[in-house]
Structure 1
Amino acid sequence: MTSLHAIVRPATAADRPAVERLWLMFRHDMSEFDSELPNPDATFKNDSRLRSAFERDDWAAYLFTSGDRPAGFAFVRSLSGPARVLNSFFVVRGARRSGLGLRAVREVVARHPGPWEIAFQDANAGAVAFWRRVAKEIAGDAWTEERRPVPNRPDLPPDAWISFTTA
């Protein structure tokens, strides 16, 4: 795939409808790993992260675009905490493996220097390779990976968490 030019910018209230549609795509992708089915109205029940990203002071929402097309999003939480958490990260399938995701995560992380934590599922082979590559490219050898239980979901395998610090 050819490299796509990406613009990464804070998502505004005007962007919220587009991010909400991207969120449905993200939750659809994630349902493969958490076995969640959509609600009867085809939404997913866990949209508290989406609301928080737009409404809470300690969160930031970013929209990725390529030209005039939405290509993905990122939600960051715990901006004032001991470590920033990349809470949700999504790139549409048509933009994957184009370099857009790596450029987008680099820009998001650069906007909030300090300690970072990113969770992903071991069963998601694409995410495993992507997040380990991100950690190596951003932090060299100065990153760690550990497994942590998923809160309130003892039925799921533990999440993998990558941690690193940026200047």
Structure 2
Amino acid sequence: MTELSVRRTNPADRAVLERLWLLFRHDLSELDGRLPNPDGTFRSERLESALSDPDWCGYLFERDDRPAGFAFVRSLSGPTRVLNSFFVARGARRSGVGLQAMKSVVAEHPGPWEVAFQDANTRAVAFWRRVATEIAGDAWTEEHRPVPQDPTGPPDVWIAFTTR
């Protein structure tokens, strides 16, 4: 694999993150059945928070000086960091980019972490279990929690671990 760069985002990254966000939301629409807004965009509150909320931060992954993905982390001032959004472009998947990127992001914020995803996203299930094991060995937990904004929908799967 060529060298991967993982760095905090800054305001100059907005256009790239907006485009990657559309790809991310498009991928998820296969699982949740949501269509884009009439203007072709998707809800972007998380993107806005990652760019402006001091309790959030974003990371951009680049390979060969090209965008390969992103991660948004929230609860920076809380006791547990929460990975809010994570995306690897299809052309970089299954190459180790996701695991390497996540290890870099977690290293920036030592301590407890939580990651949520859906059981229906079978690739995410396998990926996040692997990430937790790589980072924390067998010292991680997994539980199902209802989604506050959608209590009648399927619960989220939450993996929790602490960096070593």
Q: Is the 8 A contact 1:4 1:100 kept in 2?
A: no
Q: Which amino acid aligns with 1:124?
A: N
Matches for 1:49-68 after TM superposition, within 5 Å: 49-68=46-65
Q: Which amino acid aligns with 1:127?
A: A
Please name the residue that 2:33 is paired with: 35
Please name the residue that 2:139 is paired with: 142
How many angstroms apart in 1 are the aligned matches of 2:162 and 2:14?
30
Moved over 4 A (4+): none
Q: Is the 8 A contact 2:22 2:42 kept in 1?
A: yes
How many angstroms apart in 1 are the aligned matches of 2:18 and 2:148?
24
Matches for 1:84-103 after TM superposition, within 5 Å: 84-103=81-100
Gaps of 5+ in 2: none
TM-score, normalised to structure 1, is 0.95
Please name the residue that 1:131 is paired with: 128
Task: Please say if 1:159 is aligned against 2:156.
Answer: yes
How many angstroms apart in 2 are the aligned matches of 1:128 and 1:17?
30
How many angstroms apart in 2 are the aligned matches of 1:17 and 1:156?
32
Please name the residue that 2:68 is paired with: 71
Gaps of 5+ in 1: none
Q: Which amino acid aligns with 2:28?
A: M
SS for the counterpart of 2:13 is helix
How many angstroms apart in 1 are the aligned matches of 2:23 and 2:60?
14
Percent of pairs with identical residues: 69
Superposed CA offset, 1:5-45 (max 9, x none): 21000011111100110000000111122221100110012
How big is the shift at 1:82?
Answer: 1.6
